[in-house]
């Protein structure tokens, strides 16, 4: 007597993931007509699988794709290394990971590359929040590939989970810290530095920062430095040009770096003789930021637990692949305030 056909065998025959086969067998939405036809044709050719109750058992490793923007980002470089170093934890969860880096300078190109990521059960994604990428996410989900966004969301897409700290709350935290420090001085102006960005996380940080200043520090004003370059040298030159443009530097009480090039901004403050009087806040504890906290180039670093986020994204997606109820209910990481005194 031959062994009953398995869901994994049907998935291989149809060229889809096991989660897609499970959706078709159970009549759940989220599978497009062409993919459903492939699954049904495979079932007709191989036979229906034996139905088992409870959580399904994996017949092999799940394959998860981590898709990250490419470019000049120490945080994303650290994240890629961290994903690679977490391979042992992934193996214990029967997960094989592969990491892709695509240029995000052209979101349409990023969306095209994302759409070409195939042969995986799930995708963990950091991407610009633009319509083309939403469509690419939706196409993956309709094909049975589970998608979670990491650290920065793509709201309005069919992604099934977002893992990361509340970015608006992070921006509000930066505003609260700088606003309180400014109250002890006669300075009345805060600088907000960010690149031209389509990452919703950075946009949310900007919104939160301005919100809390308007709500709680009405005597302070926020000046946004337009289009700061993402490299340190360019950011340093841009800030120095602004400081030399005839503004009253005695009014400056703090600088919030939403995204990249914090080292360049810190260098500009130092060259302008403002390193001790204008505190700087940035995000993510990279090796450079740790050194900058110690030498007082940075007042604070706002951070979130990267290890927790990477593992939680994998756990949520594995649960979705296995149809585990409630797996999307996760505790999101807190915004941590790091100083030179509480580094671990």
pLDDT, tens digit, for every residue of 124-135?
A: 999 999 999 999
Q: Strands of the chain (E only): list them.
A: 62-70, 95-103, 122-125, 146-150, 161-163, 189-193, 221-225, 252-257, 280-283, 300-303, 336-338
What pLDDT, on a 0 to 100 scale, did the predictor assign at position 16?
Answer: 81
Residue 245 CA to residue 242 CA, distance in Å, equals 5
- Whether the CB-CB separation of 257 and 174 falls below 8 Å is answered with no
pTM of the model: 0.81
- Whether the CB-CB separation of 344 and 176 falls below 8 Å is answered with no
Nearest CA-CA partner of 124 in 195, 182, 74, 76 = 76
Helix (H) or strand (E) holding 127: none
Judge: domain 167-303, CATH 3.40.50.11540.
no
Please list the residue range(s) of the chain that carry CATH number 1.10.260.40: 1-60
For the structural domain made of 62-164+305-332, what CATH number should be given? 3.40.50.2300
Residue 65's beta-bridge partner residues?
A: 98, 123
Q: Dihedrals φ, ψ of 246, to 5°? A: 100, 5
Residue 146 CA to residue 323 CA, distance in Å, equals 11
**Residue whose pair of structure tokens reads 């919100």 in the numeric block:** 211
Residue 159 CA to residue 147 CA, distance in Å, equals 5
- The sign of the CA dihedral 18, 22, 28, 33 is positive
- Whether the CB-CB separation of 197 and 106 falls below 8 Å is answered with no
What pLDDT, on a 0 to 100 scale, did the predictor assign at position 3?
Answer: 61
Judge: domain 1-60, CATH 1.10.260.40.
yes
pLDDT, mean of each 10-residue run, the chain (344 residues) = 69 79 70 81 76 46 93 91 86 86 92 93 96 96 94 95 96 97 82 91 97 95 90 96 92 95 96 93 96 96 95 92 83 94 85
What pLDDT, on a 0 to 100 scale, did the predictor assign at position 42?
Answer: 83
What pLDDT, on a 0 to 100 scale, did the predictor assign at position 56?
Answer: 45
- The sign of the CA dihedral 147, 152, 157, 160 is positive
- Residue 259: which residues within 8 A CB-CB, separation 6 or more? 194, 195, 197, 199, 202, 230, 283
Residue 235 CA to residue 328 CA, distance in Å, equals 39
Token pair in block for residue 147: 């998608």
- How far is residue 112 from each of residues 164, 200, 341, measured CA to CA in Å? 25, 19, 45
What pLDDT, on a 0 to 100 scale, did the predictor assign at position 27?
Answer: 66
Please list the residue range(s) of the chain that carry CATH number 3.40.50.2300: 62-164+305-332, 167-303
What pLDDT, on a 0 to 100 scale, did the predictor assign at position 91?
Answer: 79
Nearest CA-CA partner of 93 in 313, 328, 323, 337 = 313
Estimate the crossing angle of helix 287-294 against helix 74-85, to 10 degrees.
120
- The sign of the CA dihedral 101, 80, 196, 133 is positive
Nearest CA-CA partner of 66 in 111, 16, 15, 117 = 117
Nearest CA-CA partner of 18 in 143, 153, 117 = 143
């Amino acid at each position: 007597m031959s062994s009953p056909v398995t869901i994994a065998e049907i998935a291989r025959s149809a060229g889809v993931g096991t989660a897609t086969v499970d959706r078709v067998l159970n009549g759940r939405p989220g599978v497009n007509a062409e993919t459903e036809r492939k699954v049904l044709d495979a079932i007709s050719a191989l036979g229906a699988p034996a139905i088992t109750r409870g959580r399904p058992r994996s017949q092999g490793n799940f394959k998860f794709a981590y898709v990250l923007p490419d470019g000049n980002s120490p945080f994303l470089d650290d994240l890629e290394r961290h994903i690679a170093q977490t391979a042992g934890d992934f193996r214990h969860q029967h997960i094989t990971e592969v990491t892709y880096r695509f240029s995000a300078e052209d979101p349409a190109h990023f969306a095209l590359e994302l759409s070409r990521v195939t042969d995986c059960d799930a995708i963990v994604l950091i991407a610009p929040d633009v319509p083309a990428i939403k469509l690419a996410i939706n196409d993956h989900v309709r094909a049975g590939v589970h998608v979670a966004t990491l650290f920065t969301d793509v709201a309005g897409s069919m992604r099934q989970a977002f893992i990361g700290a509340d970015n608006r709350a992070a921006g509000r935290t930066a505003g609260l810290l700088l606003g309180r420090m400014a109250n002890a001085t006669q300075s009345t102006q805060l600088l907000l530095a960010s690149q031209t960005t389509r990452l919703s996380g950075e946009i949310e940080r900007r919104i939160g920062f301005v919100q809390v200043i308007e709500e709680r520090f009405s005597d302070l004003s926020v000046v946004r430095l337009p289009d700061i370059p993402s490299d340190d040298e360019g950011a340093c030159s841009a800030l120095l040009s602004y400081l030399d443009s005839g503004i009253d530097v005695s009014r400056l009480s703090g600088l919030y770096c939403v995204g990249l090039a914090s080292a360049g901004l810190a260098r500009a403050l130092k060259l302008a003789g403002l390193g001790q009087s204008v505190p700087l806040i940035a995000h993510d504890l990279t090796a450079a930021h740790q050194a900058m906290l110690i030498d007082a180039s940075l007042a604070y670093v706002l951070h979130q637990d990267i290890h927790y986020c990477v593992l939680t994204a994998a756990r949520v997606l594995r649960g979705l692949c296995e149809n585990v109820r409630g797996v999307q209910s996760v505790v999101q990481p807190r915004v941590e305030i790091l100083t030179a005194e509480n580094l671990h």
